[in-house]
C-alpha cells in the first residue's frame, strides 16, 4: 500500500500544474462519466444503502454532482 502511495505521489509531483483548459476538459470528462454510468451508480448505491430508491439517489447524489460540474 505504501509503495502505491509513493508511486502516486511521485507521479503527481513530477507533473507541472494543469492549465485551465486541461482542468475544464477533465471536469467535462467527469460529467460525461457521471451521466454515462448513472444507472450503475444508482444500482451500487441501492445495494450499499439497502434498497435505496433510484429517485432518492438521483436527487441526493447524481443531480447535485452534475449541477456543480455544469457551472
Which DSSP state fits 15?
Answer: S
Residue 24 lies in a domain: yes
Q: Supply the range of the domain harboring residue 36.
A: 19-70
Domain count of the fold of the chain = 1
For residue 18, pLDDT beyond 90: no
Measured between alpha carbons, how far is 71 from 55 in angstroms, rounded to an integer? 23
Residue 2 lies in a domain: no
Residue 26 lies in a domain: yes
> What grid cell was written down for 43?
444500482
- pLDDT in the model for residue 11: 86
* Average pLDDT along the chain: 93
Q: Which H/E stretch holds residue 7? A: helix 2-14
Write out pLDDT tens, residues 41-50. Answer: 999 999 999 9
Measured between alpha carbons, how far is 62 from 65 in angstroms, rounded to an integer? 5
- pLDDT in the model for residue 22: 94
Amino acid at each position: 500500500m505504501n509503495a502505491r502511495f509513493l508511486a502516486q505521489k511521485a507521479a503527481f509531483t513530477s507533473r507541472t500544474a494543469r492549465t485551465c483548459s486541461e482542468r475544464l476538459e477533465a471536469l467535462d470528462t467527469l460529467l460525461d462519466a457521471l451521466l454515462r454510468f448513472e444507472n450503475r451508480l444508482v444500482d451500487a448505491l441501492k445495494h450499499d444503502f439497502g434498497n435505496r430508491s433510484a429517485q432518492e439517489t438521483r436527487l441526493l447524489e447524481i443531480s447535485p454532482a452534475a449541477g456543480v460540474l455544469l457551472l
